Amino acid sequence: MARERRSARRPAAKVSRLRKKTAKVPPQQAPGPIEPVVRDGLRGTPLRDAHVQGGMVSLERWEPKLEYRWDTGVAIGRFLEGLREGKILGVRCDRCHRTVTPPRAFCEWCFKPMDAWVELADAGTINTFSICFITWDMQPLEVPQIPAVIEIDGTSPRVGFLHLIGALRAHTVDGIRKEIRVGQRVRAVWKPAAERTGAITDILHFTPA
């Protein structure tokens, strides 16, 4: 019984100690004058919130209305416009004899501006692929997503283009691997023209040709 009584008293004792401590905190005082001080050899001006709220410090409130528009740039902008028209565009560097897509303004091998735009086929070859049963934010998927690097016909070897493989019959790893493989020929499946917005998703997916 004695032990129980002691434990029952403990919270009350804590509360009273807390009251004593808070009682020592001085009440809110009017802000003193704003005066520079030197501490540890450093000169500064200590400010309290009351200085700001009391109008003792010059204060300007400004809510800017800022609107941004993201520019796709010359190369990707034209590429996206091409997708809206159902075309996959690439660019060519004559010095390095390379054709690449997605397009870029300059060749990353020789650092010269690209020489020409080329319209490519909407078909290619699977370079590599993954079978994903979870989304990027860890949600399970009944029908797996299959991101793949696709070498578009007409581009230089190992110039990849990342997109999805879709419209497969199988939804299991074994079944999918019977339908697609590295080296598999695929073609783009486009959104209807009226629904295209000039985005990479204007191609719904690639599917075995």
Q: Which residues contact 125 (CB under 8 A, 6 or more apart)?
A: 150, 151, 153, 183, 184, 185, 186
Does position 107 interact with Zn ion (CB under 5 A)? The reply is yes
Q: What is the gyration radius of the CA atoms in the chain, in angstroms?
A: 33
How many chain residues touch Zn ion (CB under 5 A)?
6
Does position 96 interact with Zn ion (CB under 5 A)? The reply is yes
State whether the Cα torsion 124-127-85-136 is positive or negative.
Answer: positive
Q: What x/- string results for residues 109 through 148 when contact with Zn ion is judged by CB under 5 A? A: xx--------------------------------------
Q: Which residues contact 100 (CB under 8 A, 6 or more apart)?
A: 90, 91, 92, 93, 155, 156, 159
User: Least CB distance from residue 109 to Zn ion, whole Å?
Assistant: 4
User: Least CB distance from residue 107 to Zn ion, whole Å?
Assistant: 3
Q: Which residue is nearest to Zn ion (CB)?
A: 107
Cα separation of 161 and 198, whole Å?
A: 17
User: Least CB distance from residue 99 to Zn ion, whole Å?
Assistant: 11
User: Least CB distance from residue 90 to Zn ion, whole Å?
Assistant: 14
C-alpha 102: how far from its chain's center?
A: 19
Does position 106 interact with Zn ion (CB under 5 A)? The reply is no
Contacts with Zn ion by CB under 5 A lie at: 93, 95-96, 107, 109-110
